[in-house]
Homo-oligomer: A and B are copies of this chain.
Amino acid sequence: MLTDLTLTEFLEKIASHSPVPGGGSIAALSAAIAASLSEMVAHLTIGKKGYEALEEEMQEIAKDAFQYRERLIRTIDKDSNAYNDVMAAFKLPKGTELERNNREGAIQEALINATLVPLDVARDAFKIIELAGKAVKQGNKNAVSDAAVAVMMARTAALSALYNVKINLASIKDTNFVKEVGNDVKCMENAIVNREREFLSDVSM
């Protein structure tokens, strides 16, 4: 599993001649990092003098962030596996018409799955921007730069995931699916960029 590699090994594996792990797994990792940083800022706020009134809010951030981290860690491998499935479908035999039909069906199925995985990452990362934004606004002032980094990592995770959605959409033939997801992507892209800008404007140091 990718998540069992050390940081050094993982970076080496990204840099290698193989297309996996690529941008999709990185999107999931960035979202997991953003969740982890939000969790840390919450922990650094809980029990601190001056922040007593925010105890419950911070407990909730820590709990939600932990759940996102757990889910997104699994998605690092899930995204690379989804890409490998697309590649495997392309390698199916295409000698007879039946084989060609089967192959095309398998490719389309794999592409739809490889689209849905980063779409979920984008949705999670979008919610993590909000968590991190709360940490910017209400968290321990000494950790405000960590909260700002969390906002930016979540933004880049979400936009990165959407690039992976878009590149797959270009090869998907189900026009309804393409249209629906395409609309979602546009709407999310704008919202992500705006929310990051708003939260970063709250950073005071």
Whether B167 contacts A205 by the Cβ 8 Å rule is yes
Interface flag for A37 (CB, 8 Å)? yes
- A-B contacts, 17 of them at CB < 8 A, read A2-B7, A6-B6, A7-B7, A11-B73, A14-B33, A14-B37, A16-B40, A22-B40, A22-B145, A23-B145, A23-B148, A26-B153, A30-B30, A30-B156, A155-B156, A166-B205, A167-B205
Interface flag for A29 (CB, 8 Å)? yes
Q: Is the interface of A mostly helix, strand, loop or mixed?
A: helix
User: A5-B7, A8-B4 known; A170 and B205 CB under 8 Å?
Assistant: yes
Q: How far is the CA of A148 from the CA of B166 in the complex (A)?
A: 12
Number of interface residues of A (CB under 8 A): 57
Chain B residues whose CB sits within 8 angstroms of the CB of A26 once the complex forms: 33, 37, 149, 153
Partner of A15, one of B65, B144, B163: B65
